[in-house]
Amino acid sequence: MSLRKKILLGYSLVLILLVVVLVWSILRILALGRAGEAILWHNYRSIVSVIHMTEALEGEREGLLLWMALGPPAASSREQEAQFYQWLGRAKDNITETGEKELLSAIDREYTGLLEEMGRVRSLPSGRAGEAAELYHEKVLPRFDRLIASLQNVQTVNEKAMYRASEAASDLARSATWSTALVGGTGLLFGLLFSLFLSTRLTRPIVRLAEALRRIAQGDYSAQVPIETRDDLGRLSLEFNEMAAKLADFHHMNIDRIILEKSKNEAVLRAIEDGLVLVGPDLRVMGLNPSAQRILGLGALPPDEPIHLLEAIKDERIADRIRETIRRGAAAGASTEADPPLSLAFSSRERHYQVVITRMEGLGEGRWGAVVMLRDITRLWEMDRMKSEFVLAASHELRTPLTSIGMSIDLLMEQVSPRLEERERELLTAAHEEVNRLKELVTNLLDLSKLEAGKIEMDFEAVAPASLSDRIAGIFQRQFEEKQIRFAADFPKGLPLVWADANKITWVITNIVSNASRYVPQGGHIRLSAQAVRDRVHVSVADDGPGIPLEYQSKIFEKFVQVKDTRASSGSGLGLAICKEIVKAHGGAIWVDSTPGQGSVFTFTLPVVR
């Protein structure tokens, strides 16, 4: 069916519908006039009911006032009450307006309450006139006023409805009939003539416009529509031609810009020394820069068969971090000191890379991927290894002479000390203490170096977290009693077993509790607790000591860092660094939350036995 026939058929249906609407409108307007008269009658009945209810209320109030002034009257107030309920029932049977039903229900409830209050007044003996007057003013009179106001609201609603219905029905009934007939007749004649004209006028330009749109949709931006007239269709054709020309210009300009931006991005990626690998949600490599190709030993990627990341980086831990990053966000995959570097061998030489992962969107259909950056830290890693080996060797070499010096000083203190003067004995005692402090420092350095080098063996086993608290309470019992420290352990039932070296973790808790006992005041509190968080158990040591200043909290776990506080004895500054390395060897993390003046909470994590 052609467009011309469709338009003619459509307008014919519209004309038929218009005739039906015209006849129906005339009939409804006449019926509307009759309905307006009926509405006026119903509203008038409601107003009459309100007037009679108001008169009944006024009669009851006057009767109550006479009773209070002169005593019980001979006649009863039942007649007024019956009159009120009679007219209230008529009003309820004649509800015509929105909200009128709720108003009448409220009047019914309020009148019932009024009868109860009036009954209380009448029940008072005649000698208690003052009490009756007080009850009248406090209870009865406010209810009278509310009832009168509610009745006035009902009357107002019906009066407004009467006014609106009268105005609308009268005006509409007089004018709508002739205006609808005139407009309908004119519309019929105009619609018929216009349909014949428009069906011919629109067909040819619209067909040409549709053809040009089809060509543009296929990428042919040179499509143009001939301009045959200067009316609206002619202007539409002109605007369409200008739009097609601008689209062609924009298409060429956009392609050039995209090519330029792509060239810039490729130049930047080629210049970056760090390896960049783009992977999809299935961990397949979607792109990489030349540095990543060199690091991973890959050539150009086949466009139809992308390789899996684990084929190039055979490290399941990095794959797990990438999956977690895609699932939770960029922060989940950021590298930390606890993450071991990626080690790759090149020509019999091993190189080490720090892996940084960032989530990336824009893969289409709501899919996320990740950008994996490989940063070469071989030089830093080797320097750190050489430093650790030097400290390990120096600490080992210092232990023997320090042991000899310590034994010599011990021998002097046993045999020569009684013959020395007071000043000489003080010097000998100071030397003994300093040697012991140096021996402790060398031992800590040796332990720390072994931990960093991975040369301390860990005896991992399934450990119940609650068993750790029993050891701590026994170690510090005497120290707690001397300072009257209140120690509490909170290990909930049902905590899972952790995979740990019990002796090493006990050393960590002992070191943290020892630091806390030195800082907390006399009669202070120390609390050891644990809780399960997903696949980890968080062990915390909380105290109410002076807290840690903010400038120390970010470096408290570094080597030789000590908080400047005269209330605590000096140490080597290696205890928390060793704690950090032990927890790191367990695959966990350690941190501190502290507010100066309110205490500190040291927390570390241990993996749950799977």
Q: Report pLDDT for 568.
A: 45
Q: 52: how many CB neighbours lie within 10 A of its CB?
A: 16
Model pLDDT for residues 95-140, shown as the tens digit of each residue: 777 777 788 788 878 878 877 778 777 777 766 667 777 787 887 7
User: How far is the C-alpha of 330 from the C-alpha of 332, rounded, in Å?
Assistant: 5
Q: Report pLDDT for 526.
A: 92
The CATH class, in words, for 272-376 is: alpha beta
**Where are the chain's structural domains?**
3-105+155-197, 219-270, 272-376, 383-453, 461-607
- Please tell me the least confidently modeled range out of 208-212, 216-220, 328-332: 328-332
Amino acid at 238: L
Amino acid at 321: R
- Please determine, for residue 336, whether its predicted confidence score (pLDDT) is greater than 50: no
Q: Report pLDDT for 469.
A: 77
Q: Report pLDDT for 603.
A: 95
- Please determine, for residue 368, whether its predicted confidence score (pLDDT) is greater than 80: no
| Selected residue with higher pLDDT from 27 and 337 | 27
CATH code given to domain 461-607: 3.30.565.10
- DSSP letters spanning 181-245: HHHHHHHHHHHHHHHHHHHHHHHHHHHHHHHHHHHHHTT-TT-------SSHHHHHHHHHHHHHH
Q: Report pLDDT for 337.
A: 46
Q: Report pLDDT for 559.
A: 74
Beta carbons within 8 Å of 590's beta carbon, 6+ residues apart: 557, 579, 580, 583, 602, 603, 604, 605
User: How far is the C-alpha of 57 from the C-alpha of 87, rounded, in Å?
Assistant: 12
Average the pLDDT over 501-522 and give the result: 88
Query: Do residues 8 and 199 lie in contact, with contact meaning Cβ atoms separated by under 8 Å?
Result: yes
Nearest to 279 by CA among 271, 270, 266, 288: 288
Q: Report pLDDT for 570.
A: 53
Q: Report pLDDT for 606.
A: 93
* Block residue for tokens 């519309």: 187
Nearest to 51 by CA among 79, 78, 88, 96: 88
Nearest to 475 by CA among 518, 502, 505, 510: 510
Q: Sorting pLDDT into bands at 50, 70 and 90, what band is 540?
A: very high
- What is the 3-class SS of 270-283, one letter each residue? HHCCCEEEEECCCC
Q: Sorting pLDDT into bands at 50, 70 and 90, what band is 3?
A: very low
Q: Report pLDDT for 5.
A: 65
Q: Report pLDDT for 482.
A: 86
- Please tell me the least confidently modeled range out of 71-75, 98-102, 164-168, 392-396: 71-75
Average the pLDDT over 56-62 and give the result: 79
Query: Do residues 321 and 333 lie in contact, with contact meaning Cβ atoms separated by under 8 Å?
Result: yes
Query: What is the distance, to the nearest Å, from the Cα of residue 604 to the centroid of all Cα atoms in its chain?
Result: 27
**Radius of gyration of the chain from Cα atoms?**
48
Q: Report pLDDT for 363.
A: 58
Residue 305 DSSP symbol? S
| Selected residue with higher pLDDT from 165 and 105 | 105
| Selected residue with higher pLDDT from 569 and 604 | 604
Q: Sorting pLDDT into bands at 50, 70 and 90, what band is 537?
A: very high
Domain 383-453, what fold?
Helix Hairpins (1.10.287)
Mean model confidence pLDDT for the chain? 75
Give whichever of 253-267, 279-293, 526-540 has the largest mean pLDDT: 526-540
Q: Sorting pLDDT into bands at 50, 70 and 90, what band is 330?
A: very low
Average the pLDDT over 213-232 and give the result: 76
Percent of the chain with pLDDT over 90: 7
User: How far is the C-alpha of 6 from the C-alpha of 12, rounded, in Å?
Assistant: 10
Q: Residue ranges of the alpha helices (H) in 484-574?
A: 502-519, 550-553
- Please determine, for residue 575, whether its predicted confidence score (pLDDT) is greater than 90: no
* Block residue for tokens 């259909």: 365
Burial class (CB in 10 A: 0-12, 13-18, 19+), 471: middle
- Please determine, for residue 519, whether its predicted confidence score (pLDDT) is greater than 60: yes
Q: Report pLDDT for 341.
A: 67
- Please determine, for residue 10, whether its predicted confidence score (pLDDT) is greater than 70: no
Model pLDDT for residues 479-503, shown as the tens digit of each residue: 888 888 999 988 888 899 999 998 8
User: How far is the C-alpha of 549 from the C-alpha of 555, rounded, in Å?
Assistant: 11
DSSP run (H or E) holding 435: helix 422-453
Give whichever of 12-21, 226-235, 323-332, 368-377 has the largest mean pLDDT: 368-377
- Please determine, for residue 163, whether its predicted confidence score (pLDDT) is greater than 50: yes
